C-alpha cells in the first residue's frame, strides 16, 4: 500500500512555532521525566493545550542539536496497522531510514540520535496499532526516542510499560502555563496588571492565552480592559472551540448534568444532588475525568472543579436554553450552602442570582453580629462586601455587624457616632422586646467600648462587660457565640487594665468554647491571648514560642490577616525582643506597626510611637527619640488620643531626665501635670497599665533629680504595690530596681540590696535585661557591688546585664563618636561610667594612673566638659552611654 496522497501534510508539523513562547521546562520533561531510561513518551491533553506546539518545539530543538527527526500526523485511516506502519516508514524515509517490521525495527544500527514524533495518536489508536507501539517501546534502541501526543488517556498496557520503565506518561498539567510563563507570553500585549487578571481567569490554558495575546496584539482590546478580564477574553471563539472540540465528545446526559451544576464553584456529590433534586451525581462527577484538566476531579472525596471558561460557557448555554434557570439554580445553591454553614458561598450565590434580600436574610439567620465569633472579622467583612451598602443600611442587624467588624479591624474613627445613631433607631422602633436587633445591640454596645476607650482617660467598661457576659451565659444553651464575643471584649480590656489572674480565667473559659472547633477562623486570637498572658507573667520564652509556632502553621492567620491582630502580634514580638535588649530586632517589629490615622488601637499606638522611641533612645539616637515623642504628642492632641498624649509626654520626661536635661524635664512634667496624673494612677485599674507604668517611670525620674529625691523611693514602693495588684512581674522587677537605685542614693544600702536581690530573682526567671539597663550607670554600679553568693541564677542574670551594658556602650560609641574618641579613650569612658576611681580604672585597664589621667583630660577636652559628672552627662547626650 502506498502512502496517502496528502503526504506533504502528514510528515511536517501543522503549526508554526515562530512566535510560540519558548518553554524549556516542557521540553526538558518531555525528554527526561521519569522513568529516565524510557524510549517512548506519551503526552495526553484535551484540545487547546498546545500538544502539537510543544512537540514541534521539541522537534525543532532536536534538529538544532543535529538529531534526525521523523514526523507523522495521524488520522482515522491509521487505525489500520498496515497503513500506519507504511506512513511511519514514509516518515522515516525522509530521514533515509527504513522501519522493516515491528519485531526487527531496522533501527538497531542507528549512529545518530533519532526523534520520532507521532501527533494526534488518538486517531490511530487501535488494538493492533497499540500492540505495535508497545513492541516499539520494548525494542527501541538507546538513540531512538518516540513521542506520541493524544487527546485520550493511556490504555492499561501503557501503564504496565510505565511501571516497567519503558514509557513516560505526561498529561495536560505539564502543558498548563505557569504564572511566569503566562506573564511572559502576554508581556508585549498587555500591562502587567491586566495580564495577571487574564492569567488567573485562563488558569494556564494555552489556547485561551494565545487567543488573548493575538487579540491584544491586534489592538482589539477595549479601553476599559482592566475593569473585568472576562470582557477582554475572546470568549465567543473560546466557547465555539469548547463546543466543537471538547463537549462534542461527551454524552448528552453528562452535558445536561454540567448545565445543571455549572453555578457551583466546586461540584461535590451532596451539593450537586441538592441542586438537581436527584441522587445520581456521583456517576457524572466520575465521568468528568475524561476532560481533565478542563475539569479537575479529586477522587477522595469525589469533587470536580470546572475551568472558569467552561463554567461561563455552560451557564450561558443553560440560560439560553431556559431563561431564568440560572437565577433559580443560584437560589437553590444559596439555600443549600446557608444550611450547611458555608455563608460566604451562600451569599455569593444569592447575589449572583439577583436575590439580594435572600443574601441579607441568610446573614441575619446565621447570627448577625455573632458571625464574628465563628467567621472572624476579615471573613465577616468579605461576606458583607458582597451586599450593596444601601441594603446593609436598611438592615439594623447587618449594620451592627458591619460596625463591629470595623472596630475590630481598627477602622473606627466614625463608628462611634454611627453606632449612637443606630442605637437610637433600634430603641425607638416599635419592635417589641423579642426583636433580635435589640438583643444584638447589648453585645455590640459592649464592643463599641473599645472605640470609646481610646478617647477617654478615666474609663470603666466593667459594668457593661459584666452585663454582656451574663447575658451571653444565659443564652449559651441556644448559641454560644454571643458569649464568645462578650468574653473576647472582656479579655481585651483585662489585658489592657488587669488583673492578669482574672484574664487567665476568661481565656480558659473562651478556650473551652473554642475547643469544639466551631470557631476555627478565630483561632489566631486564642493563641494571641495565650501569648499575651505569658507576656503578662513575664514568661518571655513561652510567649515567643507560642507566637512563632502558630505564625508558621495557623492557616487562618496566613490567609485572613486581620489588621488589628497583625499589629498586636508585631507589638508582642517587639516587646519580647526589647525586654531582652535585642534592640535592632525590637525596632524592626515596632516599625512594622506603622502609624495610621485610622488605627487608634492603644496597643498599636504604644508600640509604633512609644516603644519605637525607647528603642531609638537605647540605640543611641537620643535626640531622634525625643523628637519622635514630641511628634507623637502633637498627633495625639489633634486626634483626641488622651492615652497616647500622656504616654508620649511621660516618656519624654523620663528620657530627658536620663539625658541629664533636668530643668527641661521638670518644665515638661509641670506642663503635663505629671504629679496629678500619678495621683490618678494610684487607683488600681483606673488607667491602662502601660499608662500607669509610663507615669510611674516618669514621676520616679522626676523625683530622683529633684530636691525631694527621697520621695522617689516612696513612689517605687507605691508602684511595687500596684504591680502586685495588677499581676505584672516585669513591672514588679522595674519597681524593685527603682527602689534599689533610689535607696542607694539615700545611703540605705541594706534595703537597696534587698530590693536588688528580689529584682535579680525576677530577672533570672524572666530573662528581662533592658529594664535594668534603663537604670543607667548607677544601676550598673549596684549590680557590680552586689554579692549573689555562689554561682546562682541571680548572679548569671547580673553578669548578663553587665555584658549587655558593655556591648551597648561600645556599639553606641562606634555609631556616634567613633572618630572623636580613640578606642582606649572609649575604654576609659566606660570605666568612668562605672564611677570607678582613677586607681581602679588603671588596674582594670592595666594602665598607669598617669596614663588614665591623660586619657581623662583628652576626653574632657573633646566633650568640652570639666568634671567627671559633666563628662558622663555629655556622653549620654551624644548617645555614647546607655
| pLDDT given for residue 3 in this prediction | 47
pLDDT given at position 377 = 83
pLDDT digit string (tens) for 844-859?
778 888 888 888 888 8
More confident residue, 99 or 349: 349
Which pLDDT score is estimated for 99? 57
**Sign of the alpha-carbon torsion through 864, 869, 871, 877:** negative
- Per-residue pLDDT, averaged over 481-494, amounts to 93
The confidence band for 522, taking pLDDT boundaries of 50, 70 and 90, is: confident
Q: d(Cα 743, Cα 700) in Å, to the nearest integer?
A: 12
- How far is 273 from 808, CA to CA, in rounded Å? 69
Residues 264-284: tens digit of each pLDDT = 999 999 999 999 999 999 999
The neighbouring-strand residues paired with 305 are: 296
Query: Exposure of 142 by Cβ count < 10 A (0-12 exposed, 13-18 middle, 19+ buried)?
Result: exposed
pLDDT for residue 455: 81
- How many Å apart are CA 730 and CA 763, to the nearest integer? 8
Per-residue three-class SS string for 242-310:
HHHHHHHHCCHHHHHHHHHHCCCCCEEHHHHHHHHCCCCHHHHHHHHHHHCCCEEEEECCEEEEECHHH
The most confident of 107-116, 225-234, 693-702, by mean pLDDT: 693-702
Query: Are 212 and 234 within 8 A, CB to CB?
Result: yes
Confidence category of residue 225, pLDDT binned at 50, 70, 90: low
Q: Is 669 helix (H, G, I), strand (E, B) or coil?
A: helix
| Cell matching residue 187 | 508581556
pLDDT at residue 540 tops 50: yes
Determine how many CB atoms are found less than 10 A away from the CB of residue 480. Answer: 23
* pLDDT score of 743 more than 90: yes
**Mean pLDDT: which of 3-17, 18-32, 89-103, 210-224 is highest?**
18-32
Q: Give counts: helices (H), strands (E), the chain.
A: 50, 8
- The pLDDT value recorded for residue 828 is 80
- Look at residue 221 in the predicted model and tell me its pLDDT: 53
Distance CA 335, CA 329 (A): 10
Percentage of residues in the chain having pLDDT higher than 90: 57
Q: What is the pLDDT of residue 410?
A: 60
Q: Which three cell numbers stand for residue 629?
A: 515623642
pLDDT for residue 124: 95
Work out the angle at residue 494's Cα, subtended by the Cα atoms of residues 647 and 618, and round it to the nearest 5 degrees. 35
Q: How many Cβ atoms are within 10 Å of 354's Cβ, its own excluded? A: 13
160-164, 285-289, 298-302, 572-576: range with lowest mean pLDDT: 160-164
C-beta separation of 309 from 46 below 8 A = no
* Start-to-end Cα distance in the chain: 97
- 388 Cα distance to chain centroid: 28
- Which residues, 6 or more positions from 753, have their beta carbon under 8 angstroms from its beta carbon? 740, 786
Q: Which of 420, 401, 309, 311 is nearest to 347 (CA)?
A: 401
As a whole number of angstroms, the distance between CA 714 and CA 719 comes to 9
More confident residue, 558 or 328: 328
pLDDT in tens, 171-201: 988 999 999 999 898 888 888 888 888 888 8
Confidence of residue 68 (pLDDT cuts 50, 70, 90): very high
The residues, ordered by sequence, that sit 6+ positions from 534 with a Cβ below 8 Å of its Cβ are 540, 542, 543, 546
The DSSP-derived string for 514-571 is: HTTSTTGGGHHHHHHHHHHHHHHTT-HHHHHHHHHHHHHH-HHHHHS--HHHHHHHHH
Model pTM above 0.85: no
Better-scored residue on pLDDT, 808 or 706: 706
Mean pLDDT across 323-327: 95
Helix/strand/coil (H/E/C) assignment for every residue in 319-331: HHHCCCHHHHHHH
Q: What's the order of all strands across the beta sheet hosting 302-306?
A: 267-268, 302-306, 295-299
On the question of pLDDT at 489 being above 70, the answer is yes
Mean pLDDT of the chain: 88
What is the CB neighbour count within 10 angstroms for residue 858? 15
Task: Compute the distance between CA of residue 143 and CA of residue 39 in angstroms, rounded to an integer.
Answer: 9
Confidence of residue 385 (pLDDT cuts 50, 70, 90): very high
**462 has pLDDT over 60:** yes
* Rounded Cα distance, 670 and 666, in Å: 6
Residue 69 confidence (pLDDT) above 50: yes
For residue 815, give the 3-state DSSP assignment: helix
Residues 55-59 have a mean pLDDT of 97
Q: Which domains does the chain have, with CATH numbers?
A: 7-175 (3.40.50.300), 180-360 (no CATH), 368-451+464-493 (no CATH), 641-800 (no CATH), 817-877 (1.10.10.10)
Check residue 520 and give its pLDDT. Answer: 66
pLDDT grade, residue 559 (50/70/90)? Answer: low
The answer, yes or no, to whether residue 826 has pLDDT greater than 60, is yes
Which of 550-559, 770-779, 865-874 is the least confident region? 550-559
| Residue 298: pLDDT over 50 | yes
Q: Is the pLDDT of residue 624 over 70?
A: yes
CB contact set of 137 (below 8 Å; sequence gap of 6+): 38, 39, 40, 146, 161, 166, 167
DSSP 8-class letter at 279: S
How far apart are alpha carbons 23 and 25 in whole angstroms?
A: 5
Query: Would you say residue 102 has pLDDT above 50?
Result: no
Amino acid at each position: 500500500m502506498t502512502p496517502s496522497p496528502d503526504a506533504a501534510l502528514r510528515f511536517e508539523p501543522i503549526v508554526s512555532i515562530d512566535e510560540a513562547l519558548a518553554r524549556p521546562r516542557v521540553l526538558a520533561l518531555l525528554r527526561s521525566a521519569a522513568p529516565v531510561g524510557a524510549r517512548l513518551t506519551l503526552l495526553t491533553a484535551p484540545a487547546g493545550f498546545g500538544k502539537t506546539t510543544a512537540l514541534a518545539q521539541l522537534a525543532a530543538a532536536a534538529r538544532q542539536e543535529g538529531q534526525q527527526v521523523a514526523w507523522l500526523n495521524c488520522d482515522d485511516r491509521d487505525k489500520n496497522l498496515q497503513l500506519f506502519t507504511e506512513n511511519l516508514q514514509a516518515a522515516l524515509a525522509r530521514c533515509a531510514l527504513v522501519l522493516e517490521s515491528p519485531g526487527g525495527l531496522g533501527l538497531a544500527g542507528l549512529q545518530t540520535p533519532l526523534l520520532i514524533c507521532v501527533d494526534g495518536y488518538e486517531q490511530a489508536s487501535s488494538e493492533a496499532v497499540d500492540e505495535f507501539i508497545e513492541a516499539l517501546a520494548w525494542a527501541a534502541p538507546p538513540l531512538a526516542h518516540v513521542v506520541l501526543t493524544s487527546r485520550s488517556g493511556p490504555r492499561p498496557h501503557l501503564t504496565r510499560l510505565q511501571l516497567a520503565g519503558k514509557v513516560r506518561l505526561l498529561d495536560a498539567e505539564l502543558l498548563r502555563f505557569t504564572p511566569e510563563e503566562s506573564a511572559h507570553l502576554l508581556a508585549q500585549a498587555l500591562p502587567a496588571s491586566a495580564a495577571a487578571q487574564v492569567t488567573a481567569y485562563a488558569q494556564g490554558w494555552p489556547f485561551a492565552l494565545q487567543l488573548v495575546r493575538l487579540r491584544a496584539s491586534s489592538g482589539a482590546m477595549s479601553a476599559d480592559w482592566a475593569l473585568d478580564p472576562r470582557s477582554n477574553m475572546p470568549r465567543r471563539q473560546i466557547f465555539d472551540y469548547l463546543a466543537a472540540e471538547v463537549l462534542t465528545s461527551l454524552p448528552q446526559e453528562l452535558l445536561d448534568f454540567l448545565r445543571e451544576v455549572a453555578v457551583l464553584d466546586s461540584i461535590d456529590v451532596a451539593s450537586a444532588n441538592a441542586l438537581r433534586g436527584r441522587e445520581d451525581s456521583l456517576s457524572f462527577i466520575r465521568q468528568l475525568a475524561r476532560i481533565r484538566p478542563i475539569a479537575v476531579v479529586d477522587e477522595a472525596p469525589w469533587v470536580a472543579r470546572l475551568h472558569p471558561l467552561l463554567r461561563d460557557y455552560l451557564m450561558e448555554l443553560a440560560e439560553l436554553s431556559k431563561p431564568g434557570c440560572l437565577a433559580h439554580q443560584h437560589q437553590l445553591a444559596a439555600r443549600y450552602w446557608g444550611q450547611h454553614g458555608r455563608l460566604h458561598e451562600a451569599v455569593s450565590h444569592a447575589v449572583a442570582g439577583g436575590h439580594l434580600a435572600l443574601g441579607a436574610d441568610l446573614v441575619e439567620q446565621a447570627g448577625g453580629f455573632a458571625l464574628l465569633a465563628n467567621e472572624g472579622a476579615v471573613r465577616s467583612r468579605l461576606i458583607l462586601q458582597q451586599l450593596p451598602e444601601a441594603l446593609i443600611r436598611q438592615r439594623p442587624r447587618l449594620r451592627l455587624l458591619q460596625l463591629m467588624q470595623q472596630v475590630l479591624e481598627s477602622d473606627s474613627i466614625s463608628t462611634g457616632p454611627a453606632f449612637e445613631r443606630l442605637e437610637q433607631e433600634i430603641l425607638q422602633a416599635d419592635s417589641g422586646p423579642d426583636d433580635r436587633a435589640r438583643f444584638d445591640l447589648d453585645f455590640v454596645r459592649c464592643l463599641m467600648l473599645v472605640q470609646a476607650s481610646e478617647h477617654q482617660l478615666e474609663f470603666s467598661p466593667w459594668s457593661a462587660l459584666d452585663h454582656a457576659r451574663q447575658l451571653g451565659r444565659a443564652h449559651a444553651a441556644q448559641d454560644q457565640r454571643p458569649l464568645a464575643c462578650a468574653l473576647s471584649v472582656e479579655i481585651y480590656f483585662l489585658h489592657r487594665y488587669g488583673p492578669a489572674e482574672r484574664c487567665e480565667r476568661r481565656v480558659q473559659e473562651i478556650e473551652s468554647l473554642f475547643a469544639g472547633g466551631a470557631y476555627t477562623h478565630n483561632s489566631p486570637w486564642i493563641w494571641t491571648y495565650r501569648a499575651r498572658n505569658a507576656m503578662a507573667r513575664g514568661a518571655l520564652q513561652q510567649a515567643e514560642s507560642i507566637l512563632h509556632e502558630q505564625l508558621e502553621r495557623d492557616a487562618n492567620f496566613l490567609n485572613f490577616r486581620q489588621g488589628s491582630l497583625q499589629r498586636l502580634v508585631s507589638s508582642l514580638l517587639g516587646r519580647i525582643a526589647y525586654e531582652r535588649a535585642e534592640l535592632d530586632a525590637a525596632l524592626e517589629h515596632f516599625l512594622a506597626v506603622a502609624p495610621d490615622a485610622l488605627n487608634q488601637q492603644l496597643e498599636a499606638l504604644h508600640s509604633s510611637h512609644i516603644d519605637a522611641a525607647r528603642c531609638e533612645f537605647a540605640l543611641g539616637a537620643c535626640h531622634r527619640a525625643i523628637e519622635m515623642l514630641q511628634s507623637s504628642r502633637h498627633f495625639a492632641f489633634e486626634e483626641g488620643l488622651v492615652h497616647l498624649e500622656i504616654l508620649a509626654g511621660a516618656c519624654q520626661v523620663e528620657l530627658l531626665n536620663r539625658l541629664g536635661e533636668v530643668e527641661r524635664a521638670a518644665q515638661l512634667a509641670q506642663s503635663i501635670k505629671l504629679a496629678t496624673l500619678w495621683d490618678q494612677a494610684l487607683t488600681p485599674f483606673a488607667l491602662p497599665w502601660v499608662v500607669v507604668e509610663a507615669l510611674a517611670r516618669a514621676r520616679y525620674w522626676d523625683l530622683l533629680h529633684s530636691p525631694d529625691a527621697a520621695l522617689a523611693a516612696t513612689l517605687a514602693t507605691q508602684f511595687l504595690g500596684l504591680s502586685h495588684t495588677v499581676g505584672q512581674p516585669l513591672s514588679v522587677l522595674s519597681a524593685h530596681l527603682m527602689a534599689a537605685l533610689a535607696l542607694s542614693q539615700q545611703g540605705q544600702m541594706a534595703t537597696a540590696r534587698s530590693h536588688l536581690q528580689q529584682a535579680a530573682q525576677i530577672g533570672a526567671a524572666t530573662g528581662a535585661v533592658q529594664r535594668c539597663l534603663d537604670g543607667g550607670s548607677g544601676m550598673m554600679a549596684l549590680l557590680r557591688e552586689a554579692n549573689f553568693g555562689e554561682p546562682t541564677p541571680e548572679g548569671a542574670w547580673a553578669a548578663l546585664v553587665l555584658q549587655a551594658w558593655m556591648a551597648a556602650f561600645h556599639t553606641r560609641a562606634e555609631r556616634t563618636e567613633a572618630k572623636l574618641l580613640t578606642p582606649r579613650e572609649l575604654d576609659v569612658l566606660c570605666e568612668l561610667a562605672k564611677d570607678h576611681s582613677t586607681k581602679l580604672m588603671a588596674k582594670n585597664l592595666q594602665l598607669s594612673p598617669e596614663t588614665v589621667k591623660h586619657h581623662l583630660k583628652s576626653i574632657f577636652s573633646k566633650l568640652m566638659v570639666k568634671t567627671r559628672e559633666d563628662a558622663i552627662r555629655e556622653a549620654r547626650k551624644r548617645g555614647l552611654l546607655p
